[in-house]
Structures are given as C-alpha cells and as structure tokens.
C-alpha cells in the first residue's frame, strides 16, 4: 500500500482534487485504556519525563511513521533512535525537549523532539528530516567567545528553544555583587547571531517561553493527552514483546520484524502532502519573505527574497506584518503573486489547514515571531502538519509537527 503526494518533491503539474488516503498502522484496541501507572515524576510540579521514557515514545512514534510510509521519512526505515539525546531547555530554565538523532548505517537521517515534561501535552513534537543543521558543541563555544566582551562570570551554558522552533545557546552570568542583577545572553545555534532578549514584534526576532504560552486551563487537558500517548506507546511495545521483539529501542528492526509489526497493528489513516520546495531565509528577519518565496514557487512564480521584501515593504532589517505579507500575495503579477482572494485567519485550526492542503493550496503558518510554509497534513496518532521552515538562515528545514503542542498565531490563505 504505497503512498502518494501531490507534486512529489518536484514542481510538477498538479491535480487539485488529488487526496491520498492511506490504510495502515495502529490497532483499534489502542483506544481502550488498558495500561499501567503514571510514567513521569512530579518534580516541583513540572512533571518531568525521564530520558528512558522519552526514548520509548520517540522510537514507537518513529516506527509508526515509518510503517505508514510518511512522506519525507522514507530513509528512516531500518533506522534507530540514538538513546543519548541533546537536552533542550525553555528560556525559563526548565527542561523542554529531548532531541534524539535518528541514525541509519552511522548516518544521521533526522531528529525527533520528545517532550521532557508531561505538561506539554504531545509526547513527540516533531520529526525533522535530514542531519541537524547546527552543532551543539560548536554553538556553545561560539556563544562563549561572543560573551567575552561581557564583564561577568558565565555560570551556565544551555541549549534553549528561545522562540519555537528556533534553537540557541543561553548563557547565564553570575549575579552582580552590588545590585544582585542576573544577566543572560542568547545566541542563535545556527548563525551565532545575538538574539534580542525581548518578545518578538510582528514576525521578527526575539524570545518567548513555550511553557508560559500554555494557558493554565489547558494544563490538565495536556496532561491527559500525554497519558493517552503513553498508552499508545505501551500498547505497541507490548505487542512487539508478544512477537519476540524484546526491546524496540535496542537495535534497528529487520525488514521481517517491521513487516510483522505492521501486520499486527493496523488502522485506517489519511495524509496529504504538496511538493513545495524549501528555501532558507536570507537573514534572521526574513521568515515571512522566505515563506512567500516557497508558496510563489508552488504557483510557478520565481521571485528573489529582495524582490518580495520590497513588495511587502518590510525591507532588510525588520519583520513583516501580516498586512505587509498580504500585500505581496494580492498584488498583481509580475510584481506580486496575483492571488487577490488571499486572507488572514487569526484563529487557525487543524481542519482549516487540512482543507487548504486538500485544495492543493500551501499556506503560511504563523507561530509567535515566526512564519513557515505548511505543505501537508497527516492524522493518527494525533494531528500533524508538514512544515517547510525557513530557519536556520540560508538553510531551512522540513519537518512533521504535532499540531496540539504548538501555539498557532495565524494562517494566511493564498487564494485566487
């Protein structure tokens, strides 16, 4: 039962009615809550998930995605999740993610962000395709070099998600002896730029806390979601044990084991993707511009980021507002994209993104301070969007993102 995608990985003629429906993985028995006790520890009310438990979740979700032939993850078949993750912190200092590398024949083919706390909700946030576009040890050393101009002792250097999904290094300095002031500095892990320690304006640069973005009234719901994910993981692991696969996390599964697991746990699901190319933003401000460049290319329009920024009116050194982005999308060709029906949605839902993709229309997906291109969706377990992210600068990255874990600020629909 092979999968299809709309447009493939190339710019080809598209059928707007093309929707792929995939029948595969995960048993209906999964809906029954059969499994054991709480799988995290309450640490000062942060509900910390252990690395071992996060590894189980990352591995099972990876196998699920592979067995359903999820687009972009073809190279992950027969891969293993490296059991030694990078720990990524929130800017408030709490553990946020364990980022595991996915490896095949000694080569990194992707990474997986798993939650380090059950209060985040989804236990797995992203499947990120290809090698990690930054190096942790190099980023930390570069950050320390940049901090030499500061008069103060560095007391900690941590990897942080400073403005989801962007990763940086947060340096914390010793308190000032007279004032008791605490200082920190955040450096982007990919381009080593110093990040302004303020909330981002429009779609520009700045920092915000993913934990602090979760409304208090949502926390119990998110905890319940993590528990459901843990039951799913327990079900798959028990099923694997019954087949003689004692440790899913211990080694890459053989093709025979993968096929046996696929036969044992089957559920109907659906997914649709569009073949939108990935472009990296040319500076730290140009996420919205690069997103527009990707969407324009889907419609066979080729514009440089300089051109798009000029039409939007946001220049080189500032983020673009949604109104400015709509100016480019609505402006007649050849200067703009000529999509006069383009519109802004400030209360986005998963269903709305799915409907756009089903009509072969990629869209802008906004999170606080950042713009990305949404080019696909999939369901079960959970709801996922397929994202072309223009960060890091001059690189970009494509990943599957769990809808429920992310603060979605807006969509821009690009329509005639």
Q: Give the residue with greater pLDDT, 178 vs 37.
A: 178
The continuous run of DSSP H or E covering 78 comes out as none
Return the structure tokens found at 391.
């960060």
Give 165 or 266, the one with higher predicted confidence.
165
- Which stretch, 6-15, 21-30, 85-94, 243-252, has highest mean pLDDT? 85-94
pLDDT tens for 133-186 read 999 999 999 999 999 877 678 999 999 999 999 999 999 998 766 666 778 999
| Overall average pLDDT of the 380-403 stretch | 96
Query: Do 164 and 88 touch, CB atoms closer than 8 A?
Result: no
CB-based contacts of 271, cutoff 8 Å, min separation 6: 3, 20, 22, 68, 70, 71, 376, 377, 378, 379
Cα radius of gyration rounded to whole Å, the chain: 22
Share of the chain above pLDDT 70, in %: 86
**Is pLDDT above 60 for 263?**
yes
Q: Is the pLDDT of residue 8 over 50?
A: no
The 3 state secondary structure assigned to 162-184 is EECCEEEEEEEECCCCCCCCCEE
If DSSP codes are grouped into helix, strand and coil, which group holds residue 26? coil
> Is the C-alpha dihedral spanning 368, 127, 73, 400 positive or negative?
negative
First to last CA, the chain: 35
Calculate helix-pair angle for 255-264, 51-67, nearest 10 degrees: 80
pLDDT tens digits, 330-368: 999 999 999 999 999 999 999 999 999 999 999 999 999
Mean pLDDT of 111-126: 97
Q: Of 398 and 250, which is predicted with more confidence?
A: 398
Q: What's the mean per-residue pLDDT of the chain?
A: 88
Q: How confident is the model at residue 178, as a pLDDT?
A: 65
User: What's the mean pLDDT in 101-125?
Assistant: 97
% the chain with pLDDT above 90? 75
CB 53, CB 126: distance < 8 Å:
no
For the ranges 23-27, 67-71, 112-116, 308-312, the lowest mean pLDDT is seen at 23-27
pLDDT of residue 247: 85
Q: What is the structure's pLDDT at 75?
A: 96
Per-residue pLDDT at 201: 82
Q: Domains along the chain?
A: 25-130+216-270 (no CATH), 136-213 (3.10.450), 273-413 (3.90.70.10)
Lowest mean pLDDT among 15-24, 76-85, 112-121, 243-252: 15-24
pLDDT of residue 203: 83
Per-residue confidence (pLDDT) for residue 158, from 0 to 100: 97
Q: Compute CA distances 236 → 49, 70, 74, 209, 360, whole Å.
A: 19, 18, 21, 33, 34
Higher pLDDT, 213 or 265: 213
| Contact assessment for residue 369 and residue 208, using Cβ atoms and an 8 Å cutoff | yes
Average of per-residue pLDDT across 399-414: 96
What is the number of residues in the chain?
416
More reliable by pLDDT, 325 or 68? 325
Sign of CA dihedral 285, 289, 295, 300: negative
Residue 387 phi, psi dihedral angles, 5° rounding: -115, 130
Span 294-342, pLDDT tens digits: 999 999 999 999 999 999 998 777 789 999 999 999 999 999 999 999 9
- Does the global pTM surpass 0.85? yes
Tokens 């009310």, residue located? 45
Angstrom distances, CA of residue 269 to CA of 272, 357, 382: 11, 16, 11
- Is the model's pLDDT at 1 over the cut of 70? no
Whether pLDDT at 36 is above 90: no
**pLDDT score for 383:** 95
User: Measuring CA to CA, which residue among 390, 380, 382 is closest to residue 406?
Assistant: 382
Q: What is the pLDDT confidence band of residue 22, given thresholds at 50, 70 and 90?
A: very low
Q: What pLDDT sits at residue 21?
A: 35
pLDDT attached to residue 40: 65
pLDDT score for 179: 66
């Amino acid at each position: 039962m092979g999968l299809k995608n709309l447009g493939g990985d190339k710019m080809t003629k598209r059928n707007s009615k093309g929707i792929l429906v995939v029948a595969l993985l995960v048993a209906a028995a999964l809906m029954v809550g059969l499994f054991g006790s709480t799988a995290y520890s309450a640490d000062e009310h942060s509900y910390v998930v252990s690395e071992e438990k996060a590894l189980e979740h990352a591995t099972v979700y990876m196998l699920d995605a592979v067995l359903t032939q999820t687009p972009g993850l073809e190279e992950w078949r027969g891969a293993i999740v490296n059991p030694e993750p990078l720990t990524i912190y929130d800017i408030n200092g709490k553990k946020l993610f364990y980022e595991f590398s996915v490896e095949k024949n000694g080569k990194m083919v992707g990474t997986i962000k798993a939650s380090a706390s059950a209060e985040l909700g989804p236990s797995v946030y992203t499947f990120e395709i290809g090698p990690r576009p930054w190096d942790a040890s190099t980023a930390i050393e570069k950050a320390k070099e940049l901090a030499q101009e500061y008069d103060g002792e560095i007391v900690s250097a941590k990897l942080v998600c400073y403005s989801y999904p962007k990763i940086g290094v947060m340096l914390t300095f010793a308190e000032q002896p007279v004032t008791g002031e605490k200082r920190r500095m955040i450096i982007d892990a990919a381009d080593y730029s110093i990040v302004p320690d303020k909330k981002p304006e429009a779609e520009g640069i700045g920092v915000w806390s993913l934990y602090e973005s979760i409304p208090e009234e949502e926390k119990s719901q998110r905890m319940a979601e993590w528990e459901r994910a843990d039951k799913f993981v327990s079900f798959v692991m028990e099923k694997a044990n019954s087949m003689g696969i004692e440790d899913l996390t211990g080694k890459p599964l053989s093709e025979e084991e993968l096929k046996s697991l696929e036969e044992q746990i089957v559920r109907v699901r659906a997914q649709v993707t569009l073949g939108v190319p990935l472009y990296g933003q040319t500076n730290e401000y140009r996420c919205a511009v690069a997103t527009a460049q990707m969407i324009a290319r889907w419609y066979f329009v080729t514009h440089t980021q300089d051109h798009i920024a000029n039409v939007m009116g946001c220049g080189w050194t500032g983020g673009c507002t949604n109104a400015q982005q709509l100016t480019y999308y609505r402006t007649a060709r050849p200067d703009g994209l000529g999509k006069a029906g383009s519109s802004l949605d400030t209360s986005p839902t998963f269903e709305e993104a799915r409907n756009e993709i089903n009509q072969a229309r990629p869209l802008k997906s906004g999170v606080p301070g950042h713009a990305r291109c949404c080019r696909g969706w999939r369901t079960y377990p959970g709801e996922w969007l397929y994202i072309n992210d223009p960060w890091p600068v001059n690189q970009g990255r494509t990943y599957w993102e769990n809808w429920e874990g992310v603060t979605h600020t807006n969509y821009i629909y690009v329509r005639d």
